[in-house]
Homo-oligomer: A and B are copies of this chain.
Amino acid sequence: MTAAAPPSAEVLLARAYLSRVAEPPTPGLARLVLAVGPVETAERVRRGTVPEEVAKETAARRDVDRAAEDLATAHACGARILTPEHGGWPHWAFAALDNVALGRAGPAAVRDDVERDEADSGRIADPTAACPTSAGDRPTRGDLAPPLALWVRGPGIAAQLCDQAAALVGARAATGYGLHVAGEFGAGLAAAGFTVVSGAAFGIDAAAHRGALAAGGPTIAVLACGIDRSYPAAHEALLGRIAATGLVLSEYPPGAVPARHRFLVRNRLIAALAGGTVVVEAALRSGAQRTAADAQALGRPVLAVPGAVTSGQSAGCHRLIRDGAVLVTRIEEVLEEVGRIGFHLAEEPGSLRARPTDGLGPAATLVHDALPARAARGVSWLAMESGLPLDAVRPALAELARRGLVEFGGGRWQRVVEQPP
């Protein structure tokens, strides 16, 4: 990693405050932070001098400033805050959230917020209920707002773990068949060098994490409660094992309870952290369907595992496939679809298969693959990593630079990270 200076205490306190002051997703706050930075945003929220959208988001809790205590609580349970100002923040993974939630353009799978307002005003159903798979299930732009901070536990570097990652999600009340497939896919992804992202729930989630751990790979559990809580309680040991080699993370401040709607909101982070989402088993109405909808809205591939048509726990998967998800039966088919996040990010809406690396020469492709997502590297390191001679690496880098894929600075080469608009 580049030895970027760690963020100042002022920034950490501001981000910790913002993480508690509003209930995610918070598109207004995210927009304000992008415009004026976290410290100024926190100050304005405290003073109440914010745009109406942000005022609504923060009205209830803006007087609650427990930032210092939250940082201490996190520290006490072996966790820490991770902010966009840290080197390990998964910028590439979350750039899709920025683009879709805060940008102008976006795939058709996202509803505009105004549509949501209209749709919601006519709704009778409990808005916190698991979403149906109808068109109303599509998230709005605001639903996909990026987190203001993450609370993390474990040695993993999020940016690195997400460079090659796949989400494996599905039913809590999974069948033996689903648990078997989730475990196999978790192990297969780990063996292929992919990080398995899931939600640490009973059933498919747990089987996916366990499969990855059994294969010795890191895995990321995204919680819908404070990082200091083990939810479900029966998974305390599992979460401990995930945190021992990978990462447990949450956007909720310490102490936050796993309220029902937080599971749906949390799902966008699972979708965003992964290059693609595999639904292993899901009923027709389920949280996994929401993760799939979020992934689709972010322009990430949605994959689904078929099962017996007589199994209700496969009905959601079959619906997804009929609606365009890719049917996958083997880990090779998953790997075919779930590439590096950076590549997917840059895909044009409407032409999901076009990649900025299309048409690169073989050497340029190898060198580009060798470059880590967020770290700068020297030419000799790249020669070693790519297995190419030095005099092949240099023209390859020139080609990549011409294509705007890498940049040079301080004697090293680095991938160009797409900036949110």
Contact = CB atoms under 8 A, between A and B. Distances in A.
Contacts of A177: 308, 310
Nearest to A177: B308
A329 B320 CA distance: 12
Contacts of A326: 322
A328 B318 CA distance: 8
B307 A308 contact: yes
Name A's interface SS.
mixed
A180 interface: yes
Interface in A286-310: 305-310
A312 to B, nearest CB: 11
Nearest to A175: B308
A314 interface: yes
A327 interface: yes
A162 interface: no
A181 interface: yes
A235 to B, nearest CB: 26
Contacts of A307: 306-309
Contacts of A315: 329
A330 B309 contact: yes
A174 to B, nearest CB: 13
Given A322-B327, A327-B321, A314 B306 contact: yes
Contacts of A306: 306-309, 314, 318, 321, 327
A328 B327 CA distance: 13
Nearest to A318: B329
Contacts of A322: 326-327, 333
19 contacts: A180-B310, A181-B309, A181-B310, A305-B309, A306-B306, A306-B307, A306-B309, A306-B318, A306-B327, A307-B307, A307-B308, A307-B309, A308-B308, A318-B327, A321-B327, A322-B326, A322-B327, A322-B333, A327-B327
User: What 8 A-B pairs come out closest when comparing CB atoms?
Assistant: A306-B306, A309-B329, A318-B329, A321-B327, A322-B327, A177-B308, A307-B308, A318-B327
